[in-house]
Structure formats: structure tokens, C-alpha cells
Structure 1
Amino acid sequence: MATNQDLGTVGSRLSPTVVALVRPLLEEATSAVIVHDGSLIAQRVTHDLISPPSTSLVLGNMRNLLEDPHALATFRGHQLNAVHGLAIFLFSNVSVVSRFLAAKPPEWLRTSLLLLSLSLHSDARELLAEAQEVRWSALLQARLTTSNNSFRHFVINFLPYNPPGSQLHLQVCDGRPLTRGQVFLERYHHFHGRELQVASWLDDFPFLFYDTDGQVQGMAKVMLDEVASRLHFTYHLQEEPPDGYWGELVNGTWMGMAGQVVRHEKDLIIDGFAILLDRYHSLDLSVPYFTDSYSAALKMPPPAPRWVAVVYPFQGVVWASVAATLLLLGLTLRAFIHAHPHTSSTHST
């Protein structure tokens, strides 16, 4: 039975099959982070997976990070802020991963997350719900078949807005290398009539505002209505954030509508929201659909009187210089004439 097999033997047999499935995903990624739970089998698979290294890598040990709060806080993998990056959590102990996700919520991940379970008996599906805030996430899990004593691998996706009983989507791997499109499914294509709670401020023209009939209008509402009709959800707007803030980070705490989303009190924000660096790291922002700019305006001076038009083209300093030059030139000529009177008479004759 599998429960009596030596862990090293299982690792030596399981590692080649896992590497064959996952390594193409790693080679395709522009950057990657691999974090394991410190178990022997996880370290063995990690070693085989990155030998030789094929992309920019960040490695981590969950147990060590959990024991060092400073290392845990600074372990962010900044280079993962790319659409085509990849994060892999390798583990045989589900509780260690659960503790890691609780201690370091996955908002720091800006890329796809593959939960790679190396346990043949533990059920790791609950981790998908704990990591659902990652935009793209999936679980790769192996089982040992008793008929031919070989491994079968399953890719599981969590669809949070599906009705209960249909939230897990399972695919059986056929042995061929995995592709990104096969592993990371679109999880939000249908909300099945769910009502979303929207963080909003209904005094934000032209995005959200009341018309003369007291109805909410605005370009943000028009877009939200279109998205809701396509993705099959309803929504509820709030009048304004309770604390009166828009979305500022104050002493490390998010306030306003941004704070409501970060604390999971609301599902999304639809007001005009400037893209700032701290917001980029804490929120999943849409592509910009509206640009704004600022400029300084001054009152135009009244037109100058017509008599000033003659002297207006030049400043007073210029005119004073011209007058001084003419005066100096006149005095110079007069002095020259007085100094040479005969020369002047000769020319006159």
C-alpha cells in the first residue's frame, strides 16, 4: 500500500512525472517564485524542477519564513508583477501551506499560482478557497492507482461563484506537459446571479451621480450594467464610504472605498480611481478608461489703449535704452562739431 512506502522512494518516483508536467510552465514564465514546505519530497522535486534553471527564480522555505517574521514580511518577489510570471507552492503538508497563506495573504502575488501537492493521501482542495484572491490559481494533485501502481495527476480549479456542489472543476492529466491555458481557467465568466457589494460614492460626476429624477447615472454605472449583464450578476451601490475617505493609505491602514475592498467588506469599486503605486500593490486595478489632466488658468488682461500700441511691442527698459542712446549720440555729435568747426565750414562750402 502507498501508506507503507518509504517517502524517499515515493519522491524518486513522483518527481520525474511532476517535473515533466510542470517544467514547461516554468520555462514559459518570464519570472518565477518557488516556495516549498521544507519536506524532503518537496525539496527533492524543487531541486529537480529548477535543474538547470530556465528563468529568473526566487526560492523560499515556508517553515523558515514562518519562523522569521521579518523575512516573511520582506519576501515579496517584486519581479512577479508580470502577466506571464508563475508562482509554485510545493508541499506535502497542507497545514503548513494554510499557515503560510494565513500569515502572508496572497495579495503580494501578481501572477499565476500553482499549488502543487506532493501528498498521495491528503486532500488539499481547501487551499484553493484560501488562495482565491490570486487572480489565476490552480491545484495539481497526484494519486496512486492500485491497478498498475502508477500516478494519476489532477488539475483542480476553484470557481467561487458557482452554485454549491459545482465550485470545483477537475481535469485528469493525460501525461502530456501542461499548458497555461489548460491549468489556469477563467474563474469569473459566470456569477450565477450573485449580488456584488459595490464600494461607491454617488457624488462623482461624470462617473456616478444623481440625475434630476433622483436616479443614479454616470459612465461607471453604464459600464457596470454592461458587465453585469454579460457576467450574470446584480449589484448594490452604497451612498458613500462610512469614514468619508476616498481611498488613502493612512499610517499603513487603507481608508475609504479602498479599505472596504481590502478588508473584504465590498467586492469592487467603480468610481473614478487614480492609479497610484500603493493602490497598484494592494488592489487589482482595471485598465484606464478615463484620463484627466490639470492646468493653471489666468484671467486675460484687458486690451491696451491704442495710443500704447506704438510703444507696447518693447518693454520700458528697451525704450529707455533707445532714448539714452539717441541722447548720447546727439551730445557726441554736438561735441564733435564744436571741436572741429573748420571741418564743418569746409563741407558747407
Structure 2
Amino acid sequence: MSIAPDRQTVAILLSTYNGAAYLPALLDSFLAQTHQDWMLLWRDDGSRDDTAALMREWGAAYPDRFAEVAEPQGNQGVTGSFMVLLRAAEAAGFAYAAFADQDDVWLPEKLAWGQAMLATASAAKPALYCARQVLVDDNLQRIGLSATLAGPAGFPACLARNIATGNTVILNRAALALIAPTTPPRESWHDWWCYLMVTAAGGHLLRDERGVILYRQHAGNVVGAPSSAPRRALAAVKRGPSAFMQVFRKNVAALQTEARVFDTDTRQTLEIIARSLDGSAAARLRALRIPGLVRNSRLQTALFRLWFLTG
């Protein structure tokens, strides 16, 4: 892969897996972007359909737009595959990186809106832009808008809830440099890890309440987006405390391995939380008094605290 991006080029990062049926609509939406300074970095994660062949055909048609990241080969999983792409973007010197999911359709202004908001943040600090999604069915018929991004965010709220849905996320150059050397836990998602790292390091979080993509809701979604608060609450209850707390523990431990890039207060907060997870109920209660360790509503915070105490 030989890439020489301009100083403001956005790397669109696309990990594909058995997505041939949906990819043409997504790729067409890249070409329709009002911000045209972009290049697609893609890798296939072991598809058994025509996905890789389709992507190479598009690459032959648009050689200045498409670049395949061929190594490492084989299935890396969602998080692992996106981290390969992120590291490739950072090594090539891209100014920004935007994650893409293979079954979405981007609105024409997506990259322009994201870059405009990122331009308001200091380039010297890591910055993460995220937005809402227009939820659609398999035929792109509108269902509604994803949940608002308002409410508690940043560190340590990022440990209790991820608001940065990957298919809307755009990172600046400083965020790429921060995240590229790290190793997220296998149990976590690439978008959550980026959100954790940027906010724990004191970076900028830029939230856009506009819907920027058409986000298909279908049986093949790796992660879906329940369209109402009751459905989101029910989905959380069905997942149960064990799954959530496993990811929570892994995220805390992984962040501690990156503690050198965090300030003293953040390192101390992580230490208090980590010790409480292996301590008594009283220690966990003390950890729950940490300011900002909440979710976006009283009900969700109560459920999080219950799981934290018992999981």
C-alpha cells in the first residue's frame, strides 16, 4: 500500500465481511460526499462471499481513491480489523480517520460536517467527533433517529456508557497518534476504545445531534440501535450484568496499561475503580461516589450501579 495523503485528507476506514449485498450503496455514498478530500483504506476480514472481489473491482475503477490493506490476512474480528486500518492510517500520515460500516449509506455532508466541527478543536489535542444516525430498515425506509448524545459524557462517564457509535466517528491526527500504539481488549469495540482513550487523555469530544448516516437495522447487524428508550433498557436487561461487567473490567485494566498518557487524577480514578472491583461492597460503594461515573438517565444510572455492585 503506497499512500501520500494531503495534509487535510480523511482516511475512510472500512472493514468488510460478507457484505457484498450492501457495499455498492455505501461506496456510492462515499463518491457523493461534498468533502472530496478522502481516501478509502479497506481490508477484508475473511469473507466467504464476493466481497473482496467486489472491492477490488471498485479499486481498479478508482485507483486514486481505494487502497487495500492486505496484511495481516485472515479474520481479526471487528475491533482487531479496525485497529489494523487505524494503524495504517496513522502510519501513512492522514489528518483524519472516519470509521465506516459496510451496510450503511452516508449522507452527502457527513465528512464535511465532521471535519468542520473538528476544525474548531485544538489540533494539538486528541479529538473525536461523533453524531447521531438515521435509523432505516433493510430497504432504507426511515424508522427514526438514534438516541440523543446529550447527557453525561467524557471521563469517567465513558466507562459506563459508549456514546461514540463507530459509523459516525471521525478522529483527528492527534487522536490517531494516541490510539495507534494501544491494544484494546478483545471484549470491547473499536469505537468505545477510541472514546475511552481520547476522553481519558483529556481530549476533545465533539457531539453532533444531526443524523449523518442511514443506519440499516436488520438481522445481520453486529450491533444494532434500539429506536426507543424502553427498547434500549430492555436490551440492556437482556444482556445482563455479567456481559457488561466483563467489558467494564477489561476496559479499566486496558486503560491502566496506557496510564502514562493520562494525568494524575485520571490515573488515580482508574486505580480506585480497579481496586474496588476486587474489593468489598463498601469499596465499590466508595467508587460509585466518583463524580461523573453515571449514565444518561437516573434509571440507567441505577441499573449501572446495581450491576457494578453485584457483577
TM-score (norm 2): 0.30
Task: Return the index of the structure with the highest Cα Rg.
Answer: 1
Greater fraction of residues in helix: 2
